[in-house]
Amino acid sequence: MLKKERSLKAQDVRPPYEKHIERNIGFITWEEQEFLRTSKIAVLGVGGLGGPLVEQLVRAGSENLLIADHDTFEVSNLNRQLCDQDDLGRSKVNVLEQKMKFINPQVNIMKISHINQANIEKVLEEVSVVALTLDDPIISILIARICRKKGIPMLETWAIPYLCAWWFTSESPSYEECYELNTEHMEMDEILNSEDIKMDVNKTLIPKVLKFPGLKDRLNREPGTLDKMMSGQIGLRSFAPIVRMSASYLAFELIFSGLLQIKPKILAPNVIGYDYFTMNPLSFSLNGILEDI
């Protein structure tokens, strides 16, 4: 339930913002729109998934965002990320803030260039929901642990051709349990300082992605691509329409499940969604154990 001190009506909203979000009303109420506007949302990683996700949140009327990414834009990002030729070499968080200010000059964006043990507790202060959209599994462990400690729901998906996303909450298995990383008993210092552990975590995670039905074949339409990707000879594959659809679904989940609680959360390790290549429903578990929904 949303707790509001008073009802918000159209005339209570400052005119430019009202015009910006007026067509949202119906799908959500004025009170829900205000809750979306003021709730602090953290998007950790603003590349292929996170950048378009932030754009959709701002267009939907969110004005309180925290974004984190240490990277700069490069040519290989142009196929899917929220950048153009003029942005190459520039900080992703700085570029994204600038682009979002062109949409809504009033949006408040807190930028973080690096997430680490020293700042993670502070970074997540007053955050309502977290979208985990980075490609660093070790930092993901750190983020997931602090989210669980603070009781912050954390949402994740991957940039693959399926509409689905899963939540980590106090009611779900932990991130490390879900992905069977065998790191739950370790201190973060031990994980961060061991190259062997980092390699083991990466080796464990990739097969989880490939559990999605049909994904191996779709990644290997150019014969040999999958083997090269798995061996590290080439980077992970990505394609703009696929990435953008995943980002759109993340935005939908963050708003309707995470903030407004209109739609029930799908809790990890369960994956329930839609395979839009075959146009079939999707339902399985990331760790082989289907939890009660």
Structure tokens at 181: 């990383």
> What CATH number has the domain bearing residue 230?
3.40.50.720
Phi-psi region of 279 (alpha: psi -120 to 50; beta: other; left: phi over 0): left
Cα–Cα nearest to 250, from 21, 54, 39: 54
The pLDDT score that the predictor gives to residue 2 is 47
60 in a domain, yes or no? yes
| Residues 102-143 pLDDT 10s | 999 999 999 999 999 999 999 999 999 999 999 899 999 999
Number of independent structural domains in the chain = 1
Decide if 14 is inside a domain: no
31 within a domain of the structure (yes/no): no
Local confidence band at 203 (pLDDT 50, 70, 90 cut-offs): confident
Integer CA distances (angstroms), 218 to 26, 48, 224, in order: 38, 19, 12
Spatial separation of the C-alpha atoms in residues 65 and 107, rounded to whole Å = 8
**Domain boundaries, position 180:** 39-285
pLDDT at 1 over 50: no
pTM, rounded to two decimals: 0.92
Q: How confident is the model at residue 3 (pLDDT cuts 50, 70, 90)?
A: very low
Q: Is 219 inside a domain boundary?
A: yes
* Nearest Cα to Cα of residue 264 among 172, 199, 190, 202: 172
- Report yes or no on 4 lying in a domain: no
Is residue 25 a part of any domain in this protein? no
Q: How far is the C-alpha of 258 from the C-alpha of 237, rounded, in Å?
A: 29
* Residue 45 Cα to chain centre, angstroms: 8
b vs e for 260-273, b when ≥16 Cβ sit within 10 Å of the residue's Cβ? beeeebbbbbbbbb
Q: How much of the chain, in percent, has pLDDT values that exceed 90?
A: 86
Closest by Cα among 221, 237, 245, 241 to 53: 245
DSSP state of 65: E
pLDDT band (50, 70, 90) for residue 208? confident
Over residues 182-207, the mean pLDDT reads 92
Position 9 pLDDT exceeds 60:
no
